[in-house]
Structure 1
Amino acid sequence: MGMKTQTDCQCVSETAVSKATGCKNIAELTALKATVEQLKSELEALKLQSRKDGLTGLYNHQYFREALHREIERTERAGQDTCLIMLDLDHFKQVNDTYGHEGGNHALQHTTQVLTSQIRPIDIACRYGGEEFAILLPATPINVGKQVAERVRKALSSTPLHYQEQTITLTASFGVSVYHKRGFNSIEHTEAMADNTDIETSLIEEADQQLYRAKAAGRNTVCTSTPIDTPSHHVTSDEKDLFSTLFQSSET
């Protein structure tokens, strides 16, 4: 039997394509492939949309819980801390009462712009609900987590919102918690882990408790779950340099 020519191979190929897809030729197959790729692209866009908050463009609460779960697993594998910042706008009801619902929306969008300008590309910012936001900081010790919260706090309070010819100063209260590979820093949280307590919920509750402390302390402040001068949380110069480099890359 003689060797098959290129024309013979093309005929065989087109026959196989026709049987498998119902397409009569390669041109129809190409068109079908383009349609499939477009549908895939549209599906990915819908998935992304379902993960985003419609008003702010940040990730929503559902995606936040998924990301938190992944980061806790990563901490267990890599041994690098995961920090969680929870922040809540101060006197937001007053903003709504004074400027209406639309003014409140502008305040939330303004907060989003300030917040995202102060974090790294690898950090995950979410609208947790209402006027509360959450920021996940992968591979970040508590010292640096507090520095990030302070940076966002200062940027927000020093960047007023201009709305309807009015200048509105916004502030927020911050709570910061941290997860270590061996569990939380306190004995209570270590025991909770042994009892299979939901680690994700515990981390959120701890950050929320610190946020309430910040509110009680007069608002526009940052509270952390552990003292930042404990030896286990000492930040090396290399870690500081790495964080600085990652943050600067988000500004370029």
Structure 2
Amino acid sequence: MNPVQTEDAIRLISAILMDAGWNEDELKGLPEVEGLAELCRTAAEIRAHAYALSRGDLSRGSAARGFVAGALKEAEANLRHLTWQMERVAEGDYSQSLSFMGDFSVAFNRMSREMRDKVHELTRLFERYKLFTHEDVLTGLLNRKTFFEVAVGELRRARETRSPLCFLMADVDEFRKVNDRYGHASGDSVLQLFACRLREALRPDDLCCRFGGDEFVVFMPHTGRAEGLEVAERIRQGCAQAPIPGAMTELSVTASFGLAAFREEAFDGDFDPVILLEKAVQHSERLLRRAKDEGRNCVRA
């Protein structure tokens, strides 16, 4: 290769590597002089591959060989894997981490950790919000709205299966005196303890809610009058025999109960679960008042 050819080769290779406006058409007709054409085509291939990667195009690939071409292929493979990992993160897999891309790995791993932490915090807040919308904050029992929604569905199922059911209303005896004498914080402790006694005495299918103030209601599906009385008596005895822990260990708390039992005949004729539930509340309230009038700490059915 003479000096002119050397200068031309340097100029051509420099243009391929350095000139943004260079075009592959300039390789057409290039003489095959001592591998110059092959070297220029390889440089052009590396240039095209590098440009594709710079635009995020991972589909081009390259047939070039050598150190620079290999480094670009490794970068392309890493970016492919990174893309796959980003898709996993987008689907909620925040365990993804990088270890092969230096500073980018540090940033990616930090992003993944922070997203995971944020999602966990949002999930925790959402679960807490759901509890507030479905449960009574003080006792952890169902709130009144949720109880009635679920109970209406249970009434429909009871009609389909022609099974008896019981509706129990409970009221803590002398609760106002507890508040007046010991304070509202102690009154809250009494309600929480009573809710615990209810949960301990009830069966898995029973529904229980804080109806309001110191009143609680229990819906017992597939339960006849005799069995409902047994459950109510078990709750009554559990409350009467268990003192309030802590600062109020000497306080004995009792409760009164009104039990309304419904046989299969209650579902005959026009059936409206909402109306039937309202009747159950009214009937059990009357029985509860009767229990209060007859000395408290008893069950009336």
Q: Same fold (TM over 0.5)?
A: yes
CA contact (8 A) 2:152 2:277 kept: yes
Structure 1 match to 2:168: 85
* Counterparts of 2:297 and 2:124, CA distance in 1: 43
* Counterparts of 1:89 and 1:33, CA distance in 2: 50
In the alignment, structure 1 residue 211 sits paired with structure 2 residue 294: no
In the alignment, structure 1 residue 220 sits paired with structure 2 residue 297: yes
Structure 2 match to 1:26: 84
Partner of residue 64 from structure 1, selected from 144, 147, 153: 147
When residues 63 and 195 of structure 1 are mapped into structure 2, their CA distance, relative to the original with a 3 A threshold, is closer
Structure 1 match to 2:178: 95
* Counterparts of 2:205 and 2:261, CA distance in 1: 17
1:40 shift after superposition: 7.2
Unaligned runs of 5+ in 2: 1-58, 60-81, 95-118
CA contact (8 A) 1:72 1:179 kept: no
When residues 131 and 196 of structure 1 are mapped into structure 2, their CA distance, relative to the original with a 3 A threshold, is closer
1:118 shift after superposition: 1.1
- Percent sequence identity over matched residues? 32
Equivalences for residues 115-194 of structure 1 within 5 A: 115-164=198-247, 166-183=249-266
Give the stretch that moved more between structures: 101-110 or 48-57: 48-57
CA contact (8 A) 2:168 2:217 kept: yes
1:86 shift after superposition: 0.5
Structure 2 match to 1:16: none
SS at match of 2:218: strand
1:123 shift after superposition: 1.3
SS at match of 1:178: strand
Task: Return the letter of the residue paired with 2:145.
Answer: Q
CA contact (8 A) 1:89 1:171 kept: yes
CA contact (8 A) 1:86 1:175 kept: yes
CA contact (8 A) 2:155 2:273 kept: no
When residues 42 and 28 of structure 1 are mapped into structure 2, their CA distance, relative to the original with a 3 A threshold, is farther
When residues 45 and 162 of structure 1 are mapped into structure 2, their CA distance, relative to the original with a 3 A threshold, is closer
CA contact (8 A) 1:176 1:210 kept: yes
Task: Return the letter of the residue paired with 1:80.
Answer: S
CA contact (8 A) 2:152 2:273 kept: no
Q: What is the count of residue pairs matched by the alignment?
A: 196
CA contact (8 A) 1:71 1:82 kept: no
SS at match of 1:183: helix
CA contact (8 A) 2:167 2:284 kept: yes
SS at match of 1:167: coil
1:195 shift after superposition: 9.5
CA contact (8 A) 1:103 1:163 kept: no
SS at match of 1:164: helix
* Counterparts of 1:68 and 1:194, CA distance in 2: 14
1:124-148, Cα deviation, whole Å (9 max, x unpaired)? 1211110001111121111101110
Q: Which has the higher contact order (CA 8 A, sep 6+)?
A: 1
When residues 58 and 35 of structure 1 are mapped into structure 2, their CA distance, relative to the original with a 3 A threshold, is farther
TM-score normalised to structure 2 length: 0.59
When residues 197 and 134 of structure 1 are mapped into structure 2, their CA distance, relative to the original with a 3 A threshold, is closer
1:79-138, Cα deviation, whole Å (9 max, x unpaired)? 111211110001000000010010100110111112211111221121111000111112
* Counterparts of 2:91 and 2:262, CA distance in 1: 46
Greater helix proportion: 2
* Counterparts of 2:177 and 2:137, CA distance in 1: 23
When residues 103 and 40 of structure 1 are mapped into structure 2, their CA distance, relative to the original with a 3 A threshold, is closer
1:159 shift after superposition: 0.8
TM-score normalised to structure 1 length: 0.70
Greater strand proportion: 1
* Counterparts of 2:273 and 2:251, CA distance in 1: 46
CA contact (8 A) 1:149 1:222 kept: yes
1:171 shift after superposition: 0.6
